């Protein structure tokens, strides 16, 4: 994005370009160098092997080639600095980069080759943008070789034919509102303003659609925009931050911020373009444990492999950490875990080569299954997107405990009440003698109205009673159950609260009855008939008085 200082200094820029009056030859399917300008040797087009090109400079423009490295991009200069230009775009028809010289009138069209040599193709006759910085800052080619440029703030889009150096003005449905650069993908031009709003421009109808809050706002503005080979969008701000966004469908887009990379801030007035041609099949395979106990560590390995046919110029790996997996972390270079999402960026990957990323987390309580999917996004065109994602499932140990009171819920004094506790291993892990399943049943809330009969039994494992608690532990294979039974006898005369409430607990990870559980299967509720308590607690002398009074009255009529 151009600054006011850049405009003021542009007239002082030293012009180090090769001048020529003729337009380049008509583009062909096989790129070839255009006829050289007088006195200039033929120059080669860009090879488009994952080229991410950036121009920057306040008084003169320097072109850079970006190379993907672990965690970001590394930029190296291409040739010498030249006259100040902006709105760069790479023409897929001839693979040369074009730009608009940042000086009017006429706004000359420039062509830049793979060595960074700039050829001035002459004036296009573009009008000076009225709003914003009064210069053309945004530029991009469509797949047919049409060069679109705009001032970034007004509602005029210019379509340039680089062969004839003529242009057509397209009136947009609204002002662009500070879009400093845009890029082409899927029939639309896409740009981001400093507020983080993404703007979609239909170059045919002129319709402008704004999507708020797609990327974080930038204090310096997003001066560079380009398209990755797989269709992702890249937006580079003037401070060196690169945001990568996936777009599921250009017509009804759903956006996802894939990564944020910190690159080297070369200088102000950033602009960008790209060219990806060679196909590269990147795939990811994710592996993890089939099972884990609650509180245990889950370790995932994500392997990114280049299956060819060409080398990969770089990639981004993402993994949304499943809910319930806490303390997720990674030590892999170029990776970070933020807001429950793993994001990694990597550099070149040769055919047949792979790289591994490990991420760990803790299985939190309340989750029975972790389903986790990783996605890789190559920078280059991908002929086989079917292997771009990989999913693994980890089941959490599951111990189900159910307690019931046999017979009626309300019992008579002196009645025997039997309790049955069923412990089931719902899998997937086996409980062993060395690492058994276990329960604890504190029956103190029964003992104010009843007495324990000392008859606890279990179908497997070991049961013991240590007043007032009953304990059981034992091995359980996946799918197996153990049943514990015991009984109490309700008091005949002396009572407590007339409630036979009882709760079983287990400190085994994965149990449905941990301490404080509200699972209804862990608790039984019984009652002792209240009328029996009234009779039992009345003093004997009161009973005799009632009998005497009844006798004195005689029988009822």
One DSSP character per residue, 276-289 reads E-S-EEEEEEEE--
Q: What is the pLDDT of residue 80?
A: 93
Asked if residue 346 and residue 234 are part of one domain, the reply reads no
Do 203 and 328 belong to one domain? no
| Residues 222 and 181: beta-carbon distance below 8 Å | yes
Q: Are residues 267 and 293 in the same domain?
A: no
Please report, for the domain that includes residue 379, its CATH number.
2.60.40.1530
| 369 lies in the same domain as 425 | no
Residues 225 and 301 in one domain: no
Residue 549 in domain: no
CATH number at residue 125: 2.120.10
Report residue 310: phi and psi, to 5°: -115, 165
Question: Is 370 a domain residue?
Answer: yes
Q: 269 with 349, same domain? A: no
How many domains are there within the chain?
3
Question: Do the domain assignments include residue 238?
Answer: yes
Are residue 81 and residue 224 in the same domain, yes or no? yes
For the entire predicted model, the pTM comes to 0.71
Specify whether 266 is located in the same domain as 334.
no
- Mean pLDDT for 494-522 is 91
Q: Are residues 192 and 112 in the same domain?
A: yes
- Domain boundary residue among 276, 307, 326? 276
Residue 537 has pLDDT above 80, yes or no: no
Average pLDDT over residues 381-387: 96
Instruction: Say whether pLDDT at 13 is over 50.
Output: no
Residues 254 and 370 in one domain: no
Predicted local distance difference test score (pLDDT) of residue 132: 62
211 bridge partner residues: 198
Convert the pLDDT of each residue in 218-246 to its tens digit. 998 999 999 999 999 999 998 889 999 99
Q: How confident is the model at residue 280 (pLDDT cuts 50, 70, 90)?
A: very high
Closest CA to 527 of 443, 419, 444, 446: 446
Question: Is 431 inside any structural domain?
Answer: yes
Reported as type and span, the H/E element at residue 300 is strand 297-309
Q: Identify whether 120 is part of a domain.
A: yes
Q: Is the pLDDT assigned to residue 138 strictly greater than 60? A: yes
Confidence class for position 551, pLDDT limits 50, 70, 90:
very low
Residue 223 placed within a domain? yes
For residue 29, being part of any structural domain is answered with no
In a domain, 34, yes or no: no
- Pick from 349, 380, 395: which residue ends a domain? 395
Same-domain status, 172 and 202: yes
372: confidence class by pLDDT, cuts 50, 70, 90: very high
| 424 has pLDDT over 60 | yes
The answer to whether the beta carbons of residues 290 and 327 sit under 8 Å apart is: no
Task: Kindly state whether residues 372 and 454 are assigned to the same domain.
Answer: no
Q: What is the pLDDT of residue 30?
A: 37
Its domain, for residue 362, covers 280-395
Which has more confidence, 149 or 39?
Answer: 149
> What is the SS3 assignment for 378?
strand
Could you read off the pLDDT of 312-351 as tens digits, one per residue? Answer: 999 999 999 999 999 999 999 999 999 899 999 999 999 9
Among 344, 375, 395, the domain-final residue is 395
Q: Is 1 a residue whose pLDDT tops 90? A: no
């Amino acid at each position: 994005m151009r600054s006011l200082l850049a405009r003021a200094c542009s007239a002082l820029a030293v012009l180090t370009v090769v001048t020529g009056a003729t337009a380049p030859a008509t583009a062909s399917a096989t790129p070839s160098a255009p006829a050289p300008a007088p006195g200039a040797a033929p120059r080669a087009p860009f090879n488009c092997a994952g080229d991410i090109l950036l121009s920057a400079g306040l008084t003169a423009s320097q072109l850079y080639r970006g190379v993907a490295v672990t965690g970001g991009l590394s930029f190296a200069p291409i040739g010498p600095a030249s006259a100040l230009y902006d709105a760069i775009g790479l023409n897929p028809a001839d693979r040369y980069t074009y730009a608009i010289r940042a000086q009017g009138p006429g706004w000359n069209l420039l062509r830049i080759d793979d060595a960074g040599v700039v050829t001035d193709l002459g004036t296009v006759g573009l009008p000076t943008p009225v709003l914003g910085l009064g210069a053309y800052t945004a530029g991009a080619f469509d797949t047919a070789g049409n060069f679109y440029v705009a001032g970034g703030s007004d509602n005029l889009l210019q379509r340039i034919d680089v062969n004839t150096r003529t242009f057509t003005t397209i009136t947009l449905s609204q002002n662009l509102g500070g879009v400093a650069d845009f890029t082409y993908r899927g029939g639309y031009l896409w740009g981001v303003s400093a507020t983080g709003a993404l703007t979609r421009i239909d170059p045919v109808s002129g319709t402008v659609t704004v999507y708020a809050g797609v990327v974080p706002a930038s204090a310096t503005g997003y001066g560079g925009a380009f398209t990755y080979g797989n269709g992702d969008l890249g937006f580079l701000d003037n401070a060196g931050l690169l945001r990568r966004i996936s777009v599921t469908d250009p017509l009804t887009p759903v956006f996802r911020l894939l990564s944020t990379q910190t690159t080297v801030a070369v200088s102000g007035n950033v602009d960008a373009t790209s060219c990806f041609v060679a196909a590269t099949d990147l795939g990811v395979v994710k592996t993890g444990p089939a099972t884990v106990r609650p509180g245990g560590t889950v370790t995932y390995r994500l392997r990114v492999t280049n299956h060819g046919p060409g080398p990969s110029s770089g990639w981004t790996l993402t993994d949304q950490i499943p809910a319930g997996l806490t303390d997720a972390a990674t030590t892999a270079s170029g990776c970070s875990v933020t807001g429950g999402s793993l994001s990694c960026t990597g550099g070149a990957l040769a055919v047949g080569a792979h790289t591994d990323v490990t991420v760990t987390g803790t299985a939190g309580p309340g989750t029975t299954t972790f389903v986790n999917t990783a996605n890789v996004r190559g920078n280059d065109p991908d002929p086989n997107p079917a292997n771009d994602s990989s999913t693994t499932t980890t089941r959490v140990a599951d111990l189900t405990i159910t307690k019931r009171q046999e017979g009626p819920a309300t019992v008579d004094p002196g009645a025997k009440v039997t309790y049955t506790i069923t412990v089931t291993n719902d899998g997937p892990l086996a409980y062993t003698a060395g690492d058994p399943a276990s329960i604890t049943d504190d029956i103190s809330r029964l003992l104010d109205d009843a007495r324990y009969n000392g008859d606890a039994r279990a179908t497997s494992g070991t049961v013991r009673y240590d007043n007032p608690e009953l304990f059981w532990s034992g091995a359980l294979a996946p799918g197996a159950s153990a049943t514990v039974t015991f009984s109490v006898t309700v008091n005949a005369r002396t009572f407590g609260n007339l409630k036979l409430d009882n709760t079983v607990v287990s400190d085994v990870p994965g149990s449905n009855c941990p301490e404080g559980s509200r699972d209804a299967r862990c608790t039984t509720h019984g009652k002792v008939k209240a009328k029996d308590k009234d009779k039992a607690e009345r003093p004997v002398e009161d009973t005799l008085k009632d009998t005497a009074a009844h006798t004195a009255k005689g029988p009822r009529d």
